[in-house]
Structure 1
Amino acid sequence: MTSIDTITLEVSDPAAAERFYTAAFGLDGRLRLRGSQEPTTGFRGFTLSLLVSQPADVNALIDAALDAGATVRKPVAKSLWGYGGVVQAPDGAIWKVATSAKKDAGPATRRVDDIVLLLGVADVAASKRFYLDRGLTVAKSFGRMYVEFATGPNQLKLALYRRRALAKDAGVSPDGTGSHRIAVGGAAEPFTDPDGFTWETTAITATP
Protein backbone atom coordinates (compact mmCIF):
# COMPACT_ATOMS: atom_id res chain seq x y z
CA MET A 1 0.00 0.00 0.00
CA THR A 2 1.47 3.36 -1.02
CA SER A 3 -1.56 5.63 -1.40
CA ILE A 4 -5.30 6.15 -1.04
CA ASP A 5 -7.38 5.27 -4.08
CA THR A 6 -10.84 6.18 -2.79
CA ILE A 7 -12.70 7.46 0.23
CA THR A 8 -16.13 6.00 1.01
CA LEU A 9 -18.46 7.93 3.28
CA GLU A 10 -21.14 5.84 4.97
CA VAL A 11 -24.35 7.85 5.06
CA SER A 12 -27.93 7.34 6.16
CA ASP A 13 -29.36 8.59 2.83
CA PRO A 14 -27.03 7.99 -0.16
CA ALA A 15 -29.30 9.75 -2.65
CA ALA A 16 -29.46 12.92 -0.54
CA ALA A 17 -25.72 12.79 0.09
CA GLU A 18 -25.00 12.46 -3.64
CA ARG A 19 -27.15 15.51 -4.36
CA PHE A 20 -25.29 17.47 -1.70
CA TYR A 21 -21.78 16.59 -2.86
CA THR A 22 -22.59 17.14 -6.52
CA ALA A 23 -23.96 20.60 -5.77
CA ALA A 24 -21.39 21.56 -3.14
CA PHE A 25 -18.03 20.26 -4.34
CA GLY A 26 -18.55 18.41 -7.61
CA LEU A 27 -16.06 15.74 -6.54
CA ASP A 28 -15.17 12.92 -8.92
CA GLY A 29 -15.16 9.16 -8.37
CA ARG A 30 -12.55 9.32 -5.63
CA LEU A 31 -15.37 10.07 -3.18
CA ARG A 32 -17.88 7.26 -2.86
CA LEU A 33 -21.08 6.94 -0.86
CA ARG A 34 -22.87 3.94 0.60
CA GLY A 35 -25.75 3.46 2.96
CA SER A 36 -25.19 2.78 6.65
CA GLN A 37 -27.29 2.85 9.77
CA GLU A 38 -24.37 2.18 12.14
CA PRO A 39 -24.81 4.27 15.32
CA THR A 40 -22.58 7.34 15.51
CA THR A 41 -22.62 10.45 17.70
CA GLY A 42 -20.48 13.58 17.91
CA PHE A 43 -17.05 13.90 16.31
CA ARG A 44 -16.26 10.97 14.04
CA GLY A 45 -12.51 11.38 14.37
CA PHE A 46 -11.69 12.63 10.87
CA THR A 47 -11.97 15.64 8.61
CA LEU A 48 -11.59 16.10 4.87
CA SER A 49 -9.75 19.12 3.48
CA LEU A 50 -10.13 20.60 0.02
CA LEU A 51 -7.04 22.61 -0.90
CA VAL A 52 -7.52 25.25 -3.58
CA SER A 53 -5.39 27.92 -5.24
CA GLN A 54 -7.00 31.17 -4.10
CA PRO A 55 -9.51 32.74 -1.68
CA ALA A 56 -12.15 33.14 -4.41
CA ASP A 57 -12.33 29.37 -4.75
CA VAL A 58 -12.67 28.95 -0.98
CA ASN A 59 -15.61 31.35 -1.00
CA ALA A 60 -17.23 29.68 -4.01
CA LEU A 61 -17.02 26.16 -2.56
CA ILE A 62 -18.11 27.16 0.95
CA ASP A 63 -21.04 29.17 -0.44
CA ALA A 64 -22.10 26.23 -2.63
CA ALA A 65 -21.91 23.86 0.35
CA LEU A 66 -24.02 26.18 2.50
CA ASP A 67 -26.58 26.60 -0.29
CA ALA A 68 -26.78 22.80 -0.53
CA GLY A 69 -27.49 22.41 3.19
CA ALA A 70 -24.14 22.38 5.03
CA THR A 71 -23.65 23.97 8.46
CA VAL A 72 -20.86 26.41 9.34
CA ARG A 73 -18.36 25.12 11.92
CA LYS A 74 -15.74 27.83 11.37
CA PRO A 75 -16.57 30.89 9.27
CA VAL A 76 -14.26 31.70 6.37
CA ALA A 77 -11.43 33.91 7.62
CA LYS A 78 -7.84 34.95 7.05
CA SER A 79 -5.12 33.43 9.21
CA LEU A 80 -1.34 33.33 9.45
CA TRP A 81 -1.22 30.35 7.08
CA GLY A 82 -3.77 31.56 4.52
CA TYR A 83 -7.56 31.64 4.14
CA GLY A 84 -10.25 29.04 4.81
CA GLY A 85 -13.36 27.84 6.58
CA VAL A 86 -14.99 24.65 7.88
CA VAL A 87 -18.47 23.25 7.19
CA GLN A 88 -20.33 20.10 8.19
CA ALA A 89 -22.24 18.24 5.49
CA PRO A 90 -25.81 17.07 6.17
CA ASP A 91 -24.47 13.50 6.48
CA GLY A 92 -22.19 14.61 9.35
CA ALA A 93 -18.80 14.65 7.61
CA ILE A 94 -16.65 17.71 8.33
CA TRP A 95 -14.99 19.53 5.43
CA LYS A 96 -12.34 22.24 5.51
CA VAL A 97 -11.78 24.37 2.40
CA ALA A 98 -8.53 26.31 2.43
CA THR A 99 -5.76 28.01 0.48
CA SER A 100 -2.29 29.22 1.41
CA ALA A 101 -2.72 32.19 -0.96
CA LYS A 102 -3.66 35.55 0.51
CA LYS A 103 -4.87 37.16 -2.73
CA ASP A 104 -6.86 36.11 -5.78
CA ALA A 105 -5.09 35.56 -9.10
CA GLY A 106 -8.30 35.47 -11.12
CA PRO A 107 -11.99 34.51 -11.08
CA ALA A 108 -13.12 31.53 -9.03
CA THR A 109 -12.90 28.19 -10.84
CA ARG A 110 -14.00 25.88 -7.97
CA ARG A 111 -11.10 23.62 -8.96
CA VAL A 112 -9.82 21.43 -6.10
CA ASP A 113 -6.05 20.95 -6.19
CA ASP A 114 -5.75 18.40 -3.38
CA ILE A 115 -8.02 16.35 -1.12
CA VAL A 116 -6.56 15.49 2.28
CA LEU A 117 -8.00 12.95 4.71
CA LEU A 118 -6.95 13.84 8.26
CA LEU A 119 -7.37 11.09 10.82
CA GLY A 120 -7.62 12.12 14.47
CA VAL A 121 -5.51 9.60 16.40
CA ALA A 122 -4.74 8.91 20.04
CA ASP A 123 -0.99 8.41 19.53
CA VAL A 124 0.53 10.00 16.42
CA ALA A 125 3.88 8.20 16.83
CA ALA A 126 2.23 4.77 17.15
CA SER A 127 -0.09 5.35 14.20
CA LYS A 128 2.83 6.65 12.14
CA ARG A 129 4.75 3.41 12.77
CA PHE A 130 1.64 1.41 11.89
CA TYR A 131 1.31 3.07 8.49
CA LEU A 132 5.04 2.97 7.76
CA ASP A 133 4.88 -0.79 8.28
CA ARG A 134 2.21 -0.90 5.56
CA GLY A 135 4.28 0.81 2.91
CA LEU A 136 3.61 4.53 3.28
CA THR A 137 6.45 7.05 3.45
CA VAL A 138 6.49 10.29 5.41
CA ALA A 139 6.42 13.63 3.59
CA LYS A 140 6.12 15.90 6.64
CA SER A 141 6.36 15.20 10.35
CA PHE A 142 6.00 17.47 13.37
CA GLY A 143 6.88 15.32 16.35
CA ARG A 144 3.94 13.68 18.07
CA MET A 145 1.48 16.25 16.72
CA TYR A 146 1.14 15.81 12.95
CA VAL A 147 2.31 13.49 10.15
CA GLU A 148 1.60 13.75 6.42
CA PHE A 149 2.39 10.84 4.11
CA ALA A 150 3.87 11.15 0.62
CA THR A 151 1.66 10.65 -2.44
CA GLY A 152 1.98 11.05 -6.18
CA PRO A 153 0.39 13.86 -8.19
CA ASN A 154 -3.42 13.99 -8.24
CA GLN A 155 -3.69 11.41 -5.47
CA LEU A 156 -5.68 11.62 -2.26
CA LYS A 157 -3.46 12.58 0.65
CA LEU A 158 -3.39 11.07 4.15
CA ALA A 159 -2.35 12.84 7.34
CA LEU A 160 -2.49 12.05 11.06
CA TYR A 161 -3.33 14.64 13.71
CA ARG A 162 -3.95 14.35 17.42
CA ARG A 163 -7.67 13.84 17.87
CA ARG A 164 -8.29 16.76 20.22
CA ALA A 165 -6.24 19.11 18.04
CA LEU A 166 -8.12 18.01 14.92
CA ALA A 167 -11.47 18.59 16.60
CA LYS A 168 -10.34 22.05 17.70
CA ASP A 169 -9.22 22.86 14.16
CA ALA A 170 -12.64 21.76 12.92
CA GLY A 171 -14.50 23.83 15.50
CA VAL A 172 -16.21 20.88 17.22
CA SER A 173 -16.02 18.99 20.50
CA PRO A 174 -13.61 16.00 20.42
CA ASP A 175 -16.24 13.79 22.05
CA GLY A 176 -17.87 11.14 19.90
CA THR A 177 -18.89 7.49 19.94
CA GLY A 178 -19.82 4.74 17.52
CA SER A 179 -18.90 4.28 13.88
CA HIS A 180 -16.42 6.56 12.09
CA ARG A 181 -18.75 6.25 9.06
CA ILE A 182 -15.78 6.19 6.64
CA ALA A 183 -13.75 3.54 4.80
CA VAL A 184 -10.48 4.13 2.98
CA GLY A 185 -9.71 2.30 -0.27
CA GLY A 186 -6.22 1.33 -1.32
CA ALA A 187 -5.04 -1.53 0.88
CA ALA A 188 -3.72 -4.74 -0.68
CA GLU A 189 -5.52 -6.58 2.12
CA PRO A 190 -8.28 -5.10 4.33
CA PHE A 191 -7.20 -3.93 7.78
CA THR A 192 -8.25 -1.72 10.69
CA ASP A 193 -5.78 0.79 12.13
CA PRO A 194 -5.14 1.43 15.87
CA ASP A 195 -7.91 4.05 16.01
CA GLY A 196 -10.55 1.91 14.33
CA PHE A 197 -10.37 3.34 10.80
CA THR A 198 -10.98 0.63 8.22
CA TRP A 199 -9.12 0.16 4.94
CA GLU A 200 -10.51 -1.81 2.02
CA THR A 201 -9.11 -3.27 -1.17
CA THR A 202 -10.39 -1.03 -3.94
CA ALA A 203 -10.26 -1.41 -7.69
CA ILE A 204 -10.43 1.90 -9.52
CA THR A 205 -10.82 2.64 -13.20
CA ALA A 206 -7.84 4.43 -14.70
CA THR A 207 -8.60 7.75 -16.35
CA PRO A 208 -6.77 8.92 -19.47
Structure 2
Amino acid sequence: MTALMSLTLGCENPEPTRALCQALGVADRVSAAHSDEPTTGFRGFSLSLVAPSRGHVDALLQVALDGGASVLQPASTSFWGYGAIVASPDGAIWKFASSSKKDTGEAVPEFDNLVVLLGVDDVKASKRFYISQGMHAGRSFGGKYAELGGTDGGLTLAVYPRKTAAKEVGADPAGSGSHRVVLGSDGPAFTDPDGFVWEPAGMTSER
Protein backbone atom coordinates (compact mmCIF):
# COMPACT_ATOMS: atom_id res chain seq x y z
CA MET A 1 0.00 0.00 0.00
CA THR A 2 1.13 3.55 -0.75
CA ALA A 3 1.09 5.96 2.20
CA LEU A 4 1.68 9.66 2.79
CA MET A 5 5.00 9.93 4.62
CA SER A 6 6.03 13.58 4.48
CA LEU A 7 5.17 17.06 3.28
CA THR A 8 7.39 19.81 1.86
CA LEU A 9 6.10 23.38 1.92
CA GLY A 10 7.32 25.71 -0.80
CA CYS A 11 8.52 29.04 0.61
CA GLU A 12 10.32 32.10 -0.69
CA ASN A 13 12.24 32.04 2.61
CA PRO A 14 12.21 28.49 4.06
CA GLU A 15 14.05 29.16 7.33
CA PRO A 16 11.13 30.61 9.40
CA THR A 17 8.89 27.71 8.35
CA ARG A 18 11.57 25.17 9.19
CA ALA A 19 11.95 26.72 12.63
CA LEU A 20 8.18 26.68 13.17
CA CYS A 21 7.91 23.02 12.17
CA GLN A 22 10.69 22.20 14.62
CA ALA A 23 8.94 24.10 17.41
CA LEU A 24 5.61 22.38 16.71
CA GLY A 25 7.24 18.95 16.75
CA VAL A 26 6.47 18.08 13.12
CA ALA A 27 9.90 18.59 11.52
CA ASP A 28 10.25 14.84 11.02
CA ARG A 29 7.21 14.94 8.73
CA VAL A 30 6.90 18.53 7.48
CA SER A 31 9.81 20.42 5.92
CA ALA A 32 10.30 23.54 3.84
CA ALA A 33 12.12 24.22 0.58
CA HIS A 34 12.66 27.30 -1.53
CA SER A 35 9.96 28.10 -4.07
CA ASP A 36 9.18 31.27 -5.99
CA GLU A 37 6.49 29.71 -8.15
CA PRO A 38 3.59 32.16 -8.60
CA THR A 39 0.57 31.48 -6.41
CA THR A 40 -2.46 33.55 -5.46
CA GLY A 41 -5.31 33.09 -2.99
CA PHE A 42 -6.22 29.76 -1.40
CA ARG A 43 -3.51 27.23 -2.15
CA GLY A 44 -5.91 24.30 -1.95
CA PHE A 45 -4.70 22.61 1.22
CA SER A 46 -4.41 22.99 4.98
CA LEU A 47 -2.69 21.16 7.82
CA SER A 48 -4.49 20.19 11.01
CA LEU A 49 -2.94 19.18 14.32
CA VAL A 50 -5.59 17.24 16.23
CA ALA A 51 -4.93 17.68 19.96
CA PRO A 52 -6.23 15.92 23.12
CA SER A 53 -7.78 19.01 24.77
CA ARG A 54 -8.30 22.76 24.49
CA GLY A 55 -5.27 23.37 26.68
CA HIS A 56 -3.11 21.58 24.14
CA VAL A 57 -4.67 23.69 21.38
CA ASP A 58 -3.82 26.89 23.26
CA ALA A 59 -0.26 25.67 23.80
CA LEU A 60 0.19 24.83 20.11
CA LEU A 61 -1.27 28.19 19.13
CA GLN A 62 1.19 30.02 21.37
CA VAL A 63 4.12 28.10 19.86
CA ALA A 64 2.90 29.03 16.38
CA LEU A 65 2.54 32.70 17.25
CA ASP A 66 5.99 32.75 18.85
CA GLY A 67 7.27 31.24 15.59
CA GLY A 68 5.90 34.03 13.44
CA ALA A 69 2.48 32.65 12.48
CA SER A 70 -0.44 35.05 12.14
CA VAL A 71 -3.96 34.42 13.44
CA LEU A 72 -6.67 33.79 10.84
CA GLN A 73 -9.29 32.64 13.35
CA PRO A 74 -8.70 33.05 17.10
CA ALA A 75 -9.22 30.11 19.42
CA SER A 76 -12.90 29.53 20.08
CA THR A 77 -15.45 26.90 21.05
CA SER A 78 -17.94 25.53 18.56
CA PHE A 79 -20.42 22.64 18.46
CA TRP A 80 -17.64 20.27 17.28
CA GLY A 81 -15.01 21.27 19.86
CA TYR A 82 -12.29 23.89 20.24
CA GLY A 83 -9.80 25.23 17.74
CA ALA A 84 -7.80 28.02 16.15
CA ILE A 85 -6.45 28.70 12.66
CA VAL A 86 -3.20 30.41 11.70
CA ALA A 87 -1.06 31.11 8.64
CA SER A 88 2.59 30.13 8.94
CA PRO A 89 5.27 32.54 7.64
CA ASP A 90 5.13 30.94 4.18
CA GLY A 91 1.34 31.40 3.97
CA ALA A 92 0.30 27.77 4.55
CA ILE A 93 -2.84 27.40 6.66
CA TRP A 94 -2.64 25.44 9.93
CA LYS A 95 -5.51 24.42 12.17
CA PHE A 96 -5.11 23.36 15.81
CA ALA A 97 -8.21 21.54 17.01
CA SER A 98 -9.62 19.27 19.70
CA SER A 99 -12.99 17.57 19.95
CA SER A 100 -12.75 18.12 23.72
CA LYS A 101 -13.94 21.46 25.07
CA LYS A 102 -12.33 20.81 28.45
CA ASP A 103 -8.77 20.92 29.69
CA THR A 104 -7.38 17.52 30.63
CA GLY A 105 -3.96 17.24 32.17
CA GLU A 106 -0.99 19.52 31.56
CA ALA A 107 -1.44 22.04 28.73
CA VAL A 108 1.58 21.31 26.55
CA PRO A 109 2.05 21.72 22.78
CA GLU A 110 1.32 18.11 21.88
CA PHE A 111 -1.06 16.53 19.38
CA ASP A 112 -2.40 13.10 18.48
CA ASN A 113 -2.58 13.30 14.70
CA LEU A 114 -1.43 15.45 11.79
CA VAL A 115 -3.96 15.65 8.99
CA VAL A 116 -3.18 16.92 5.49
CA LEU A 117 -6.42 18.14 3.95
CA LEU A 118 -6.60 18.66 0.19
CA GLY A 119 -9.34 20.69 -1.45
CA VAL A 120 -10.32 18.92 -4.68
CA ASP A 121 -12.77 19.41 -7.52
CA ASP A 122 -14.32 15.93 -7.24
CA VAL A 123 -13.90 13.84 -4.08
CA LYS A 124 -15.08 10.61 -5.70
CA ALA A 125 -12.73 11.05 -8.67
CA SER A 126 -9.83 11.86 -6.34
CA LYS A 127 -10.57 8.77 -4.27
CA ARG A 128 -10.57 6.56 -7.37
CA PHE A 129 -7.31 8.10 -8.55
CA TYR A 130 -5.52 7.60 -5.24
CA ILE A 131 -6.74 4.01 -4.97
CA SER A 132 -5.32 3.43 -8.46
CA GLN A 133 -1.97 4.68 -7.09
CA GLY A 134 -2.03 1.97 -4.44
CA MET A 135 -3.49 3.91 -1.54
CA HIS A 136 -5.80 2.32 0.99
CA ALA A 137 -9.34 3.70 1.16
CA GLY A 138 -10.27 4.76 4.68
CA ARG A 139 -13.36 6.55 5.94
CA SER A 140 -15.51 8.06 3.22
CA PHE A 141 -18.75 10.01 3.03
CA GLY A 142 -19.76 10.00 -0.62
CA GLY A 143 -18.67 13.15 -2.42
CA LYS A 144 -18.15 15.07 0.81
CA TYR A 145 -15.04 13.55 2.39
CA ALA A 146 -12.57 10.70 2.03
CA GLU A 147 -9.45 9.50 3.84
CA LEU A 148 -6.74 7.72 1.86
CA GLY A 149 -3.50 5.91 2.51
CA GLY A 150 -2.06 4.58 5.72
CA THR A 151 -0.63 6.54 8.64
CA ASP A 152 2.79 4.91 8.80
CA GLY A 153 4.41 8.32 8.51
CA GLY A 154 2.28 9.79 11.25
CA LEU A 155 0.17 11.58 8.65
CA THR A 156 -3.44 11.25 7.60
CA LEU A 157 -4.50 12.30 4.09
CA ALA A 158 -8.03 13.57 3.57
CA VAL A 159 -9.84 15.16 0.63
CA TYR A 160 -12.77 17.59 0.74
CA PRO A 161 -14.48 19.61 -1.98
CA ARG A 162 -12.35 22.70 -2.52
CA LYS A 163 -15.11 25.10 -1.39
CA THR A 164 -15.66 23.11 1.81
CA ALA A 165 -11.92 22.95 2.52
CA ALA A 166 -11.64 26.71 2.12
CA LYS A 167 -14.74 27.42 4.19
CA GLU A 168 -13.46 25.26 7.05
CA VAL A 169 -10.41 27.52 7.43
CA GLY A 170 -12.23 30.76 6.66
CA ALA A 171 -10.60 31.28 3.26
CA ASP A 172 -11.98 32.37 -0.09
CA PRO A 173 -11.85 29.26 -2.32
CA ALA A 174 -10.53 31.29 -5.26
CA GLY A 175 -6.88 30.84 -6.07
CA SER A 176 -4.52 29.98 -8.90
CA GLY A 177 -0.96 29.01 -9.61
CA SER A 178 1.24 26.64 -7.65
CA HIS A 179 -0.02 24.81 -4.57
CA ARG A 180 3.52 25.30 -3.21
CA VAL A 181 3.51 21.90 -1.59
CA VAL A 182 5.05 18.53 -2.43
CA LEU A 183 3.66 15.40 -0.82
CA GLY A 184 6.10 12.58 -0.14
CA SER A 185 5.07 8.93 -0.29
CA ASP A 186 6.65 5.50 -0.20
CA GLY A 187 5.57 5.04 -3.82
CA PRO A 188 6.50 6.51 -7.23
CA ALA A 189 6.21 10.14 -8.35
CA PHE A 190 2.92 11.36 -9.80
CA THR A 191 0.66 14.43 -10.03
CA ASP A 192 -2.98 14.08 -9.03
CA PRO A 193 -5.98 15.45 -11.00
CA ASP A 194 -5.95 18.68 -8.95
CA GLY A 195 -2.29 19.40 -9.61
CA PHE A 196 -0.86 18.23 -6.27
CA VAL A 197 2.66 16.90 -6.83
CA TRP A 198 3.82 13.68 -5.17
CA GLU A 199 7.41 12.48 -5.00
CA PRO A 200 9.16 9.63 -3.18
CA ALA A 201 9.65 10.71 0.45
CA GLY A 202 13.12 12.08 1.08
CA MET A 203 13.64 12.96 -2.57
CA THR A 204 11.66 16.19 -2.85
CA SER A 205 13.74 18.83 -4.56
CA GLU A 206 13.70 22.56 -3.98
CA ARG A 207 11.14 24.09 -6.28
TM-score normalised by the shorter chain: which range applies? over 0.9
TM-score by length of 2: 0.92
SS in 1 for 2:119: strand
**Are the equivalent residues in 2 in contact too, given 1:81–1:100 (CA < 8 A)?**
yes
Q: Which amino acid aligns with 1:156?
A: L
Residue 192, structure 1, aligned to residue 194, structure 2: no
Does the CA contact (< 8 Å) of 2:21 and 2:27 recur in 1?
Answer: no
- Aligned counterparts of 1:57 and 1:153: Cα–Cα separation in 2: 23
Contact 1:3–1:155 (8 Å) recurs in 2: no
Give 1:74's aligned amino acid. Answer: Q
Displacement, 1:162? 0.5
- SS of the aligned residue for 1:5 comes to strand
Partner of 1:171: helix, strand, or coil? coil
Residues in 1 aligned to 2:27 and 2:35: alpha-carbon distance in whole angstroms = 21
Q: Say which SS state the counterpart of residue 77 (structure 1) adopts.
A: strand
Deviation per CA, 1:163-194: give whole Å up to 9, x if none. Answer: 01110111111111111000010152210000
The change in CA–CA distance for 1:17 and 1:152 in structure 2 (over 3 A counts) is closer
Shift of 1:21: 2.9
Tell me the SS of whatever aligns to 1:63: helix
What secondary structure does 2:62 align onto?
Answer: helix
Corresponding residue of 1:118: 117
Q: Any idea what SS the aligned residue of 1:161 has?
A: strand
Percent identity over the alignment?
Answer: 47
Query: Aligned-pair distance for 1:22?
Result: 3.0
Determine helix, strand or coil for the equivalent of 1:145. coil
Partner SS, residue 135 of structure 2: coil
Q: Matches of 2:126 and 2:117 in 1, distance apart?
A: 12
Q: Which amino acid aligns with 1:167?
A: A
**For the Cα contact (< 8 Å) 2:21–2:31, is it kept in 1?**
no
For structure 1, the residue ranges without an aligned partner over 5 or more in a row are none
**Which residues in structure 2 correspond to 1:20-39 (within 5 Å)?**
20-23=20-23, 25-39=24-38
Question: Alpha carbon RMSD of aligned pairs, Å?
Answer: 1.6
* DSSP 3-state at the match of 2:18: helix
| 2:120–2:194 Cα contact (<8 Å) kept | yes
Instruction: Work out the CA distance in 1 between the residues paired with 2:177 and 2:138.
Output: 31
Q: Distance in 1 between matches of 2:151 and 2:63?
A: 29
Shift of the 13–167 alpha-carbon distance from structure 1 to 2, 3 Å rule, reads same
Aligned residue identity for 2:15: A
Number of positions where the alignment pairs a residue of Structure 1 with one of Structure 2: 203
TM-score of the superposed pair, with normalisation by structure 1: 0.92
> Aligned partners of 2:151 and 2:189: how far apart in 1?
22
State how far apart, in whole Å, the 1-side matches of 2:20 and 2:80 are: 29
Q: Which stretch shifts more, 151-160 or 139-148?
A: 151-160
Cα distance in structure 1, aligned partners of 2:62 and 2:161:
29
Compared with structure 1, are the counterparts of its residues 71 and 17 closer, same or farther at alpha carbon in structure 2 (3 Å cutoff)?
Answer: same
Deviation of the 1:154 alpha carbon: 6.0
Aligned-partner residue type, residue 83 of structure 2: G
Matched residue, 2:63: 64
